[in-house]
Amino acid sequence: MDVQNKIVLTGVKPTGTVHIGNYVGAIKPAIALGREVIANGGHYVMFIADYHAVNYLKNPEEMQLFTRKLACTYLACGLDPNQMIFYRQSDVPEVFEMTTLLTNFTPKGFMNKAHAYKAAVDKNIAKGEPADAGINMGLYNYPILMAADILTYGSDYVPVGKDQVQHVEITADIAGAVNACYGKQVLKIPQAITQENAALLPGTDGRKMSKSYNNVIPLFDDAEVIRKAVMSIKTDSQDINAPKNPEDILLFQIARGFCQPELVKEIEEGLRKGGMGYGTIKKMLADAITAELAPLYEKYVDYMAHYDKVEEMLREGAKKARALARPVLDNFRATVLNLK
């Protein structure tokens, strides 16, 4: 991907549990990509998608806490708010004006096919309930709000997990419909970026590490909590001295996803030869995780304790975001309404 002078944008929903799977699979790569984009003269736009969370998160205290945790997590992991544009979605009213305009160019059928809505309908039907039971328009319109996030800034690339690619494709289709309607490029057509070879980090039970499965190693917690989570990684009862194929061993898969190559090699060799016990490997893994994360955790705690400073950063970020958004929206409005 050529990021020279490009606008690269991504959003994250506030969530209460951030785990090392999110760290290796999303946070670290996002920050690395952000640095590359900036070094190449582009803009890296990263925001907390709090309005996207309202359709399922209606507890204001939780909303506030999750938003704070997420902001502090990204900052502690190295996001530089002076270089990147880092803000809270709800602080940029242009996005919501854009959403209203975009609804008029979005075939309703697109929304019927969007995966989150379809999954909710399928669940209802399986339970013998009416198709739309408990489904609000926030969930139904979710892809239009996401399209507004992307199109309001003239984004070129949108790094996302595979589950979000459909939403970026819908966004490109909506932008295409706008451009076709007025016979010129009003909105830039964005492209999704996925990490093709991104390995999913397994959780302590062997399934994908996920907050929904309760099998996570938390990103930011006391060393003892992290150690306990590592100790709970499932192992088998093979003899300690038996030579093993590392690929078959969950503990190795997790270590490979997190640790530096030298340590991965040491564990791999220990397993192949036999003689390296699971307890020893767990200790090595817990030490490696805490060694890498302890300094970041300290920063995280500090940001959380001085949240007013973070709030200020987000507000400054929203100003920069609005400056990028305004001309795109003004051009769209002027086209639709024939304003001079």
Residues near ligand TRP (CB under 6 A) are: 9-11, 13, 49, 52, 146, 149-150, 158, 160, 164, 167
Q: Which does 15 bind (CB under 5 to 8 A by kind): ligand TRP, ligand ADP, none?
A: ligand ADP
Q: Which does 25 bind (CB under 5 to 8 A by kind): ligand ADP, ligand TRP, none?
A: ligand ADP
Contact assessment for residue 33 and residue 70, using Cβ atoms and an 8 Å cutoff: no
**Among the candidate windows 79-87, 137-145, 201-209, 248-256, which touches ligand ADP by CB under 6 A?**
201-209
Q: Single out the residue of 3, 11, 14, 25 in contact with ligand ADP (rule: CB under 6 A).
A: 25
Spell out where the chain has E strands: 7-12, 43-48, 85-88, 157-159, 191-193
Does 15 interact with ligand ADP (rule: CB under 6 A)? Answer: yes
Smallest separation, CB 147 to ligand ADP (Å): 19
Smallest separation, CB 19 to ligand ADP (Å): 6
Nearer to ligand TRP, 150 or 267 (CB): 150
**What is the DSSP code string of 27-46?**
IHHHHHHHHHHHHTT-EEEE
Q: Which does 99 bind (CB under 5 to 8 A by kind): ligand TRP, ligand ADP, none?
A: none
Nearer to ligand TRP, 69 or 167 (CB): 167
Nearer to ligand ADP, 75 or 254 (CB): 254
Q: How many helices (H) and strands (E) does the chain have?
A: 15, 5
> Hey, how many other C-beta atoms are within 10 angstroms of the C-beta on 64?
13
Does 211 interact with ligand ADP (rule: CB under 6 A)? Answer: yes
Q: Which does 143 bind (CB under 5 to 8 A by kind): ligand ADP, ligand TRP, none?
A: none
Interface map 147-186 toward ligand ADP (x if CB under 6 A): --------------x-------------------------
Smallest separation, CB 103 to ligand TRP (Å): 16
Q: Which of residues 212-231 bind ligand ADP (CB under 6 A)?
A: 212
Among candidate residues 244, 287, 285, the one with its CA nearest the CA of residue 268: 244
Smallest separation, CB 333 to ligand ADP (Å): 33
Rg (Cα) of the chain, in Å, rounded?
22
Residue 58, Cα to own-chain centre: how many angstroms? Answer: 20
How many residues touch ligand ADP under the rule CB under 6 A: the total is 14
Separation of alpha carbons 204 and 231, rounded Å = 9
Q: What is the sign, positive or negative, of the torsion defined by CA atoms of 37, 142, 202, 47? A: positive
Spell out where 237-335 has E strands: none
Residue 164 contacts by C-beta under 8 Å, 6 or more apart in sequence? 146, 192
Dihedral Cα 144, 149, 150, 153, nearest 10 deg: 140
For tokens 């900052």, name the residue.
Answer: 75
Applying CB under 6 A, the residues found at the interface with ligand ADP are: 15, 21-22, 24-26, 161, 200-201, 208-212
